[in-house]
A and B are shown apart, each in its own frame.
Chain A
Amino acid sequence: MPQKSLQDRLAILADAAKYDASCASSGAGNRNALKDKGIGSTEGMGICHAYAPDGRCISLLKILLTNACIYDCAYCINRVSSNVERAAFTPAEVADLTMAFYRRNYIEGLFLSSGIIRTSDYTMELMLEAVRLLRTEHRFSGYVHLKTIPECSPELMSEAGRLADRLSINVELPTRAGLKQLAPEKDETTIRTAMGHVRSRIEDAKDARRDRTLRRAKPPRFAPGGQSTQMIVGADAASDAEILTTSATLYAGYGLRRVYYSAFSPIPAPSAVLPLKAPPLKREHRLYQADWLHRFYGFEMPEIEAATTGGMLDLDIDPKLAWALRNRHVFPVDVNKADREMLLRIPGIGTTAVKAILKTRRHRSLRLDDLSKMTRALKRALPFLVAADWRPTQMLDAAGLEASLRPPKQMELFDAP
C-alpha cells in the first residue's frame, strides 16, 4: 500500500484527535526564545489562534501520533473495532509540522496524543521522541501538552513531565461502573494511580524549586502547566451530580488544573453499545458553569447538587441562578455590607464584579448606577441584591420570579445542530 501523503495523514490524525476537548495553553509560566534565539514563548495566558465553526478554539496543533489502537473503548472513534482509516506520523513529522505552523503564528504549540500501538511504553517513547526533537533540535520553547498513557512506566512519565508543559490522563468516564461498561479493558485504579503519581512529581518539583539555596542551579520543572483530565458526558448513565462529585474528588485528590467535559458526540463509526442519542450540548455548558462555581465561587458540590432535579442541572438557567432560586432565604444580599463569599452568590455578579464592588465601596456606598458599570447582567441580579437606592421588596417572594428569569422557550442558547 502506498504511503499516504502528509496532508492526508494530517486530515486523519487531526480528525481522530478532535474529540479531546482540552485546548488550554495557559499556566506554563514565563519562557521565551530571546536568549537562545530559538522559537517559542509562553507568557501565562494562552492564545486562541482560530475558532472552528463548532465554536471551539484552536490553540494547539491537536493531533494523534497514530490512530491505530489495541484498545476497544466504545466511545472512541479510534477503537480497534472501528472501521476508520488508519494513519501514523513519525516523531520527526510531528516536530516539523509543529514548527511549520508555529513559525507562521497559527498555533501556541502542540497537543500530542496517540492510540496505543504494541505497548504503552513503546507508544509513549515515540511521543516523547517527537517532543524531544522539538525541544532540542528545533529549540522550541512553545507550549506542549502531552496526553500520557496511564499504563506507561514511571520513568517515561517523568521524562514527559520534564519535556511538556502540561500532562493529562483521561479518566474517560465519571464512574467506575461506566468505565467497566464502555471501556472494559481500562482500569480506573491504574488511571488514578498515574494521576496521583503526576501530582506528587509536580509537588516535589515545586518544593525543590522553592527550597533551593541560592547557589544551586534551579531544579528542573515538572509539567509547570499542571495536569488535566477529560470525562465523556452522556455516554453512560451518570447524572450531573455524579459527574461533579467525581470532578471535585479529582480536583482535591490530584490537584488538577482543569476537568474537561466532552458531551459524547456522534462519531462516524459508532459502537453498538453507545446510547442512540447524543446529550444536548447545553448539558456540557451547564457542567462547566457548575465546575466554575466549585473552583472560583466557593460552592461545595453538595450545594450544587441540592439545586438539581434528580441530580440533573437545569438546562434553561445557569446553576448559580438555580441555587439562588432555591435558597431565597439568604437573599437579598446587601452589596454595601455583605462579605465576599455572599457577594459571589448573587446571580449575575461574577468574580470581576465582586472585586469592583469591594474596591469601590471602601470609598462610598454603591447605587444601581455603579453596579450597572460593573456587571452586564444587572437585570438578573436585581431581585437578589440591596443597594443604596434599591431594595427588591416583593420581587424575591413573588411566585412569578422563577418564570421571569427563565429564558423564553424559543430562544436557543446554541444554534441547532
Chain B
Amino acid sequence: MMPVTYAVTLAHDADFTGWRSAARRLDANHVQPGCVQWRCEGDPQPDFLLPAARPYQELPTGNAARTVPGAFVSLAQKLICHSADDRFTLAYRLFRRLREEPQLLSDAGDDDMHRAHLMAKAVSRDAHKMKAFVRFREVTPDQGADDRPHFVAWFEPDHHIVDATAPFFMRRFAGQSWSILTPERCAHWDGETLSFTPGVPRSQAPDGDPAEDLWRTYFASTFNPARLMVKAMTAEMPKKYWKNLPEAQLIDPLIADAQKRHQAMQDTAPRAPARSTRVRRDHEAGSRAADAPIRSLDDLAAAGRSCTRCPLHCGATQAVPGAGPGDAPLMLVGEQPGDHEDIAGKPFVGPAGDVLNDVLRETGILRDRAFVTNAVKHFKFELRGRRRLHRSPDAGEVAHCQWWLAKELELVRPRVVVALGVTAARALTGQTVTLNAMRGAVHDMADGTQLVVTNHPSALLRQRNAEAARQLRGNMLADLTTARRCLEAAG
C-alpha cells in the first residue's frame, strides 16, 4: 500500500513556529520525511503529478511531546531561513533521525549534519552581511506627520533572514524610526514596535543622502594606496553587494589611481628629522638630570629608570626602586619584584607582600617605618603561555644590580638590615652563602650595620605542605623578632 502523503503550508518563507508545530504532529504520527510536502503561502501549488497530499491537520495531535536538545532548535531556526527548497524536509529528517540517533548532533561527518551546518553557516553569513551592509538613508516625513527623521534602507538578502535579523536593528537603532525594504519582506521600527510587511520593488527606496558624500570622503581617505589587496576586499565584500553601497562607486577609481599614488610616495624626497623639538629639549633636560650626581633616593629612582646594566630591563615594565622613609632604621631586602610589583612600580605589593605585612604586624614592626627594597630591581620571568612565571636572578644579574642596592644602603643608612631569602643575603654579603648557615644569628656587615637573614615570604606561598609552611612562618617571626630586638638595643 502506498503511504499517505501529507501537505504542510507554512505562513511565510522563514516560518519556524509553523514548521515546528507541523513537525511535531507529523513525528508523533511517525510520518516519514519522504511523505511530507512542504510549501509556503504564496508558493505555486504543488505539481499535480505528485501524489495527492492530505492536509497534515487531519492527523491526530498526539500527546508525545518530544524534547530535543537546544542545539537542534538553534540549528533548525537557521536552517529554515535558507533559500533551498528542501530546507524544511532536511530539518524534519534530522528531527526524525534524532529519535534513534541521539549522537547525531555531534557528528560533524554525517552528510545531513554537514549539509545542515553549511546551510546554517550560509544563513549566518547572510545575516552578518545584512548587519554590515544595510545603508540607511534619511528621509523627511510628509508634512503634518510626525516630524522626526525616518531612516530607510534597501537590501537584497540571499536567504529569508529579514525576520531573524530585524531585532538586531531594533536593539541598535532603538532611538530612531527606520524601515528596511527588501524584495521579499520589509521590517519597520517606529520607536515602539517592530513590524513586517510584504516585499516592495527597489523604486520605493530613497536614492540618496547628504551624509553619503562625507562617507565616501572617509572611505577614500582611509584607503592606503601602498597596500592594494583587491582580492582580500572582494572576499569579504563581494561585488553583488556593491550596487547598494554608496561608497562602492569609488572602488574602481581608487584602484586605478593606487599605483600612481604609491609611486609618487616613493619618489618623494625624504625629509630630515627636526633638529630640535620641544619634546626633545625636555627629554634632554630629563636625561641630563638622570646623569646628575645622585644625592637623594628620588635621584636614585630617576636614574634607575633607565638602567640597562643587564638584559632584564628588556622584558620588565620598569625598575622597581625601594620604598620607605629615607631615614628608616630598618631595611628589608627581598629578591626581585614580581608580577604585581613590576606593574605597580612598588616593592612587595603582591601576594608575597601580603605575607610580609602579616608577619611584620605580628612582630610589631611598622612597615611604614621600614625601607623595603629588592636585591634586583627588574622583574625576571619566563613566559608560559599568557603568564609570566618568576625566575630567580642569576649571580651576574645580582652582581650588576648590587650597585643600586649599595646606593640605597648608603643613602638610607639603616641600623639593621633583614635579608629576605638567599638572593638578598648573597647580594648583601657578596658571598655565596646558604640560608641555613646564616639564619638564627645576627651578622655584622663591613660598615657595622647588623644583618639578619630569614626566608623569603613567597617561600611560604610556594610550600604545599601546611606543616612546612607553618614552620617557615615561625622562622620568619623569630628572625624578624631578632631584628626588632637589635633595633631596640641600638636605641
Which residues of A come within 8 Å of B, CB atoms? Answer: 6-7, 10-12, 14-15, 17-19, 32-34, 36-41, 43, 47-58, 61-62, 70-72, 74, 79-83, 97, 100-101, 103-106, 139, 142, 175-176, 184-185, 189, 192-193, 195-197, 199-200, 248-249, 251-253, 255, 263, 265-274, 278, 281, 295, 298, 300-301, 356-357, 359-360, 362-364, 366-367, 369-371, 373-374, 414-415, 417
Interface contacts (Cβ under 8 Å), in number, total 281
**B226 in contact with A266 (CB, 8 Å):** yes
* B-chain residues with CB within 8 Å of residue A48 when the two chains form the complex: 132, 236
List 13 A-B residue pairs with CB atoms under 8 Å apart, sorted by A's residue number.
A6-B214, A7-B213, A32-B171, A39-B174, A71-B279, A176-B313, A252-B385, A252-B387, A273-B273, A274-B270, A300-B385, A363-B106, A415-B228
Q: In the complex, what distance in Å separates the CA atom of A298 from the CA atom of B286?
A: 43
**A51 in contact with B222 (CB, 8 Å):** no
* A-chain residues with CB within 8 Å of residue B245 when the two chains form the complex: 50
Say yes or no: is B464 at the interface (Cβ < 8 Å to chain A).
no
Closest chain A residue to B305 by CB distance? A189
**A106 in contact with B270 (CB, 8 Å):** no
Closest chain B residue to A37 by CB distance? B175
**B135 in contact with A54 (CB, 8 Å):** no
* A-chain residues with CB within 8 Å of residue B224 when the two chains form the complex: 18-19, 52, 54, 56, 265
CB under 8 Å from chain A, chain B span 100-150: 103, 106-109, 114, 128, 131-138
Q: In the complex, what distance in Å separates the CA atom of A329 from the CA atom of B122?
A: 39
Closest chain B residue to A138 by CB distance? B175
* A-chain residues with CB within 8 Å of residue B333 when the two chains form the complex: none
How near does chain A come to B156, taking the closest CB pair, in angstroms? 15
**B215 in contact with A104 (CB, 8 Å):** yes
Q: In the complex, what distance in Å separates the CA atom of A313 from the CA atom of B137?
A: 47
Contact (A54, B223) CB under 8 Å given A185-B279, A252-B387, A415-B231 = yes
Partner of A200, one of B170, B319, B344, B385: B344
How near does chain B come to A192, taking the closest CB pair, in angstroms? 4
How near does chain A come to B233, taking the closest CB pair, in angstroms? 4
**A252 in contact with B215 (CB, 8 Å):** no
Closest 6 CB pairs of A and B: A55-B232, A370-B109, A55-B229, A356-B108, A196-B343, A14-B221
In the complex, per-residue mask of B263-277: 1 if CB is within 8 Å of any chain A CB, else 0: 011101011111001
How near does chain B come to A199, taking the closest CB pair, in angstroms? 6
Residue from B133, B175, B255 with most neighbouring chain A CB atoms (10 Å): B175
**A33 in contact with B173 (CB, 8 Å):** yes
**B343 in contact with A200 (CB, 8 Å):** yes
How near does chain A come to B190, taking the closest CB pair, in angstroms? 12
Q: In the complex, what distance in Å separates the CA atom of A55 from the CA atom of B226?
A: 11
**A53 in contact with B255 (CB, 8 Å):** yes
**B218 in contact with A61 (CB, 8 Å):** yes
Partner of B271, one of A18, A83, A373: A83
Say yes or no: is B227 at the interface (Cβ < 8 Å to chain A).
yes
**A417 in contact with B170 (CB, 8 Å):** no
How near does chain A come to B268, taking the closest CB pair, in angstroms? 6
Closest chain B residue to A35 by CB distance? B174
CB under 8 Å from chain A, chain B span 320-362: 342-345
**B108 in contact with A266 (CB, 8 Å):** no
Contact (A50, B172) CB under 8 Å given A104-B137, A374-B109 = no
Closest chain A residue to B103 by CB distance? A363
**B108 in contact with A359 (CB, 8 Å):** yes
How near does chain A come to B264, taking the closest CB pair, in angstroms? 8
Q: In the complex, what distance in Å separates the CA atom of A54 from the CA atom of B257?
A: 13
**B131 in contact with A47 (CB, 8 Å):** yes
* B-chain residues with CB within 8 Å of residue A61 when the two chains form the complex: 218
**B268 in contact with A14 (CB, 8 Å):** no
Say yes or no: is B62 at the interface (Cβ < 8 Å to chain A).
no
* A-chain residues with CB within 8 Å of residue B344 when the two chains form the complex: 196, 200
Partner of B384, one of A49, A58, A270, A300: A300
How near does chain B come to A36, taking the closest CB pair, in angstroms? 8
With A54-B223, A72-B280, A82-B271 known, 14 other A-B pairs at CB within 8 A are A18-B224, A39-B174, A51-B232, A54-B233, A55-B232, A83-B271, A97-B214, A104-B151, A104-B215, A196-B342, A199-B343, A253-B315, A269-B271, A415-B231
**A281 in contact with B229 (CB, 8 Å):** yes
Say yes or no: is B450 at the interface (Cβ < 8 Å to chain A).
no
**A417 in contact with B271 (CB, 8 Å):** no
* B-chain residues with CB within 8 Å of residue A103 when the two chains form the complex: 136, 138, 151, 173, 176
Q: In the complex, what distance in Å separates the CA atom of A196 from the CA atom of B320?
A: 13
Q: In the complex, what distance in Å separates the CA atom of A415 from the CA atom of B230?
A: 7
**A39 in contact with B176 (CB, 8 Å):** yes
Contact (A271, B221) CB under 8 Å given A105-B134, A193-B345, A417-B228 = no
**B317 in contact with A192 (CB, 8 Å):** yes
Q: In the complex, what distance in Å separates the CA atom of A414 from the CA atom of B231?
A: 7
Contact (A14, B218) CB under 8 Å given A39-B174, A103-B173, A105-B153 = yes
Q: In the complex, what distance in Å separates the CA atom of A417 from the CA atom of B133?
A: 27
Q: In the complex, what distance in Å separates the CA atom of A175 from the CA atom of B384?
A: 21
Residue from B134, B136, B214, B262 with most neighbouring chain A CB atoms (10 Å): B214
Residue from B138, B268, B278, B279 with most neighbouring chain A CB atoms (10 Å): B279
Say yes or no: is B388 at the interface (Cβ < 8 Å to chain A).
yes
**B215 in contact with A101 (CB, 8 Å):** yes
**B219 in contact with A54 (CB, 8 Å):** no
Contact (A34, B170) CB under 8 Å given A53-B258, A415-B229 = yes
Say yes or no: is B158 at the interface (Cβ < 8 Å to chain A).
no
**B342 in contact with A253 (CB, 8 Å):** yes
**B343 in contact with A104 (CB, 8 Å):** no
Contact (A189, B228) CB under 8 Å given A54-B223, A366-B109 = no
Partner of A189, one of B138, B270, B317, B383: B317
Q: In the complex, what distance in Å separates the CA atom of A28 from the CA atom of B314?
A: 32
Closest chain A residue to B257 by CB distance? A53
Contact (A270, B228) CB under 8 Å given A104-B151, A253-B342 = no
Q: In the complex, what distance in Å separates the CA atom of A207 from the CA atom of B306?
A: 33
CB under 8 Å from chain A, chain B span 192-230: 209, 211, 213-215, 217-230
Q: In the complex, what distance in Å separates the CA atom of A56 from the CA atom of B230?
A: 10
* B-chain residues with CB within 8 Å of residue A72 when the two chains form the complex: 273-274, 277, 279-280
* B-chain residues with CB within 8 Å of residue A298 when the two chains form the complex: 385
Contact (A53, B217) CB under 8 Å given A39-B174, A266-B262 = no
**B219 in contact with A105 (CB, 8 Å):** no
Contact (A362, B103) CB under 8 Å given A104-B151, A249-B383 = yes
Say yes or no: is B251 at the interface (Cβ < 8 Å to chain A).
yes
* A-chain residues with CB within 8 Å of residue B342 when the two chains form the complex: 196, 253
Say yes or no: is B247 at the interface (Cβ < 8 Å to chain A).
yes
Closest chain B residue to A142 by CB distance? B172
**A196 in contact with B317 (CB, 8 Å):** yes
Say yes or no: is B168 at the interface (Cβ < 8 Å to chain A).
yes
**B345 in contact with A34 (CB, 8 Å):** no
**B273 in contact with A74 (CB, 8 Å):** yes
Closest chain A residue to B265 by CB distance? A266
**A37 in contact with B108 (CB, 8 Å):** no
* A-chain residues with CB within 8 Å of residue B227 when the two chains form the complex: 54-56, 263, 265, 281, 417
**B283 in contact with A185 (CB, 8 Å):** yes
How near does chain A come to B206, taking the closest CB pair, in angstroms? 12
**B229 in contact with A414 (CB, 8 Å):** yes
**A184 in contact with B283 (CB, 8 Å):** yes
Q: In the complex, what distance in Å separates the CA atom of A99 from the CA atom of B277?
A: 37
Closest chain A residue to B388 by CB distance? A252
Q: In the complex, what distance in Å separates the CA atom of A297 from the CA atom of B153?
A: 42
**B274 in contact with A81 (CB, 8 Å):** yes
**B270 in contact with A272 (CB, 8 Å):** yes
